[in-house]
Structure 1
Amino acid sequence: MERKIVKNYIYSVIYQMLIVIMPLIVTPYTTRVIGINALTINTNTTNLVQWFVLFGIMGINIYGNREIARVRDDSTKLSKTFFEIFAMQVFSMLIASLAFFFYIYIIGDQYQTILLIQSISLLSVAFDITWFFYGVEDFKSASIRNMIVKIIGVVLIFMLVKGPNDLFIFVLINTCTGVLGQIIMWLQLKQYIHFVPISLKGIIQHIKPNIALFIPQIAISVYSILDITMLKILGPVYVETNLYEQTQKFVKMFLFFITSIGTVMLPRVSNVHSKGDRVAVNNYLNKTLRLALYLSIPMIFGISAMIQNFVDWFLPESYQIVGLLIQCTSPIILFISLSNVFGTQFLVPTGNTKPYTLSVVVGAIVNFLINWTLIPTYGVFGAIIGSVVAELSVTLVQYFYIKNRIDFDFKVKELFIVCIASLIMFIPTHYIGVFLGANFFVNLLQISVGILTYFLILFLFRAPLLKELPLNLFKRK
């Protein structure tokens, strides 16, 4: 792949790795200092605010990314498109903010003070222009900004949060660091755009296609935000919302190697598709599909092999069930990886919004029905079953739509090699934990042995991906 894509991918991965590392540092501290009850309040109030953010931001994060990528080669069109989309974003978030304050002061909520602090995140989202930097493929600026903000937030938490009564401070730190991040981002914007006058007509033209991408965002939220909401309402135990959130965080943090590919490739595919280069689109998708399968399948086996050892020393005793919950949830790594390739890297950038919308609506309906049926009896396990089946249904709908539109070169034999290598890797990884116990260094040993075993088996079976890497490196050199 081109050097710029590789660099953008590295920046995205580094930032995502930081997101993975931060909970490893912060979670043990906050669970012990603040406590599960306070963290559950934070989870539920954050979840509520996210509903208003969802309807305020609509589909702008994806739509803005795609539209900026399409016009980035023309400075005037780039500036005009940016100001039009940003004006639409501010107006939309203003309406969402008014609705939020109406809820707080007219309808009322027992955690009104916490929600008022959480409202700062609405301001942060209103001025969030990360989509612009992704669209021009400047992942360096976005990643560095996000890393600075995350580090500052962690430092402040350790400095200022000392007990359950500091929940207000904890929430304030999380919301205010987001605003700081937007300030940094705006300072970097002037090198790309210049002011151009825009019209109301120019703003309005973006509403319809943005709403078209907003509909699948609503559907996606049914099996993300709504899971926690339904657990809170239907679940047999109140604190299960926090257990579910911790499980989702742990599982999805392993996806950063794969989802970073989609983040990087969306603007690139949008750009080449706007030029009518179908061959390039096909080549990009085949490369990222192969990489997604080579990464996601061993991740599932690896998580199953070592996660309980990790949870035993990393989380308090009240969270030990999270290990089992993560094992049950891990199949979504494969499903999300595939739908990331099919949906984010093909359907969205090529303008196939209807099938993309259909896929996530089907997933949302499946998720809602399973949650409604299983959560009252099985609690968090019912929510997990709903999430896994929903992600599978999304992937299947997308695959059946694009299977005749993309010339896939991934063979069954290659998939068999990946599965065998993952299964063999599972054995030493699991038994190292069984015999050596649960601690940080054992987990490092498990990860190291697992990676070495996996790639050794791939090498012995002469896996096609490994054959391509030396050639690509040689060609670049």
Structure 2
Amino acid sequence: MLKNIFFLFLIQISNYIFPLLTLPYLVRVLGASQFGSLMLAQALIQYFITVTEYGFNLSATKKIALSKSQDETNKIYTNTLYARIILALICFIIAILCTQFIEMFEREFNVIIILFLGVIGNCFFPIYLFQGLELMKKIAWISIVSKTFMTLSVFVLVKDAKDINNAALALAIPLLLPGIISFIYIYNRQLARVVSFSFRGIVKELKDGGALFISQIAISFYTTFNTLILGYIFNPTIVGVFSAADKLRIAAQSCYVPIQQVVFPRINKEAGELSTKLLKYGGFFVLISFLGSSLVFFFGEQLALLYLGNEFIISARLFKWMSLLLFIISIAIVFGQWGLITLGKEKLLTKIYVIGALCHVGYSIPLVMGYNVYGMLVSVLITEFIITLMMIFSFYKVTHSAI
């Protein structure tokens, strides 16, 4: 397990450290307004990535981890792949419609189309397969090579504020290349084969991941949707200020993802009481997150200001208080993803996320209109706290009622 955590950690390093190398360059060269426009387009694309990932990174991972034969693995892989391709085609149509009929996206047509290459690549990047098989070594190096290429592309292609299309292309590369390379690698190493698919099989994969997909969409209403709210109410500059802070928060939070992804299939496979396993793995996970949150709270503002520049002083302040999210979210992962999903309570988890999303939409808009980006920060903190409390209560209710 430790080896898989290490390689997943390398993937997360490549996912966020390499972009962090380019972030200060992009915000300075593009400026707050153009950087905000890029982030606004990326927020829309992130929705499409969420749609194509559906709930497969958890539902398909669990199936492959429990698969009894290669044929069964092949069927899961094939049906999931075709389901993602169908979803990507639907998303492309929606992307075109958005650029034609929604004002804040009309001027970002080229940027959105270029960024959509990442959606295509992501369809062919089956993280669920590698997680389920607990094989992460090769994919880690593929990710590192792709992110290295992205980093070099940013510095070579982006020279001034007019190069926003080039910046979009550079950001699409780390999603496009891993998809192509991993697809070839899976075929050559016979980890899984694309076999005959059935519409019934595709529908089954969609149905099995449906609850988790709704959860992800609900989550997006207090994550990705925040960018769209700020862009609609204010302007790209405000989007740029908030996005810069959120990028740093996501990068800090990514340090926990390797543990999160490796422990999930292990909890499903390992014998023993779930509560005991959560205490064993979850206690360590929450402790690590608390230490990380403390470091960001006490030192994050100064580091962010040095990193982003004086134009983003508000971003630095936001990043400091976003440190609270790191700790809150770690608790939610333990009781939500590791706890409720393992117990087969995906629908209950979905209800929690939907309630949280509805609450967030209800108070985030007036808070943002009254307090700008600080209102959005408060909204996100309140929402994450409410959701985490509901997860803890639900987990204990389910486990105690089963006794």
Between the aligned partners of 1:65 and 1:113, the Cα distance in structure 2 is 35
Between the aligned partners of 1:12 and 1:57, the Cα distance in structure 2 is 18
Alignment of 1:380-395 (within 5 A): 380-395=373-388
Corresponding position: 1:252 with 2:247: no
Between the aligned partners of 1:314 and 1:99, the Cα distance in structure 2 is 36
Give SS of 2:2's match: helix
| Equivalent residue, structure 1, for 2:69 | 74
Tell me the CA shift for residue 375 of structure 1.
0.3
Tell me the CA shift for residue 220 of structure 1.
0.3
Unaligned 5+ segments in structure 1 are: 408-477
Alpha-carbon displacement from aligned partner over 1:181-227 (angstroms, at most 9, x marks no partner): 11111122133124543322222222222222211111000011111
Between the aligned partners of 1:195 and 1:330, the Cα distance in structure 2 is 43
Tell me the CA shift for residue 93 of structure 1.
1.6
Match of 2:91 among 76, 90, 96: 96
TM-score (structure 2 length as normaliser): 0.91
| Equivalent residue, structure 2, for 1:215 | 214
Unaligned 5+ segments in structure 2 are: none
Match of 1:304 among 281, 297, 302: 297
CA contact (8 A) 1:359 1:395 kept: no
Alpha-carbon displacement from aligned partner over 1:359-414 (angstroms, at most 9, x marks no partner): 2122212221221220001011111111111111111111011125669xxxxxxx
Greater mean deviation of Cα atoms: 345-354 or 154-163: 345-354
Tell me the CA shift for residue 23 of structure 1.
4.0
Amino acid at match of 1:243: V
Alignment of 1:2-21 (within 5 A): 5-21=1-17
Alignment of 1:101-250 (within 5 A): 101-105=96-100, 109-190=106-187, 191-235=190-234, 238-250=236-248
Match of 2:316 among 296, 304, 323: 323
Between the aligned partners of 1:52 and 1:256, the Cα distance in structure 2 is 21
Give SS of 1:34's match: helix
Between the aligned partners of 1:60 and 1:15, the Cα distance in structure 2 is 19
| Equivalent residue, structure 2, for 1:341 | 334
Alignment of 1:371-410 (within 5 A): 371-403=364-396
CA contact (8 A) 2:121 2:180 kept: no
CA contact (8 A) 2:35 2:240 kept: yes
Tell me the CA shift for residue 141 of structure 1.
2.7
Tell me the CA shift for residue 106 of structure 1.
6.2
Amino acid at match of 2:65: A
Q: Comparing both chains, which one has the higher relative contact order based on Cα–Cα distances under 8 Å and sequence gaps of 6 or more?
A: 2
Greater mean deviation of Cα atoms: 333-342 or 48-57: 48-57
Tell me the CA shift for residue 300 of structure 1.
2.4
Tell me the CA shift for residue 142 of structure 1.
2.7
CA contact (8 A) 1:85 1:203 kept: yes
Tell me the CA shift for residue 68 of structure 1.
1.7
Amino acid at match of 1:125: N
| Equivalent residue, structure 2, for 1:365 | 358
Between the aligned partners of 1:205 and 1:256, the Cα distance in structure 2 is 31
Tell me the CA shift for residue 24 of structure 1.
4.0
**Number of residue equivalences:** 396
| Percent identity (aligned) | 22
Tell me the CA shift for residue 128 of structure 1.
2.6
Compared CA separation, residues 76 and 238, structure 1 to 2 (3 A) = closer
Between the aligned partners of 1:18 and 1:88, the Cα distance in structure 2 is 27
Corresponding position: 1:30 with 2:31: no
| Equivalent residue, structure 1, for 2:261 | 263
Give SS of 2:163's match: helix
Amino acid at match of 2:212: L
TM-score (structure 1 length as normaliser): 0.78
- The structure number with the bigger radius of gyration is 1
Between the aligned partners of 1:199 and 1:163, the Cα distance in structure 2 is 49
Match of 1:332 among 304, 325, 330: 325
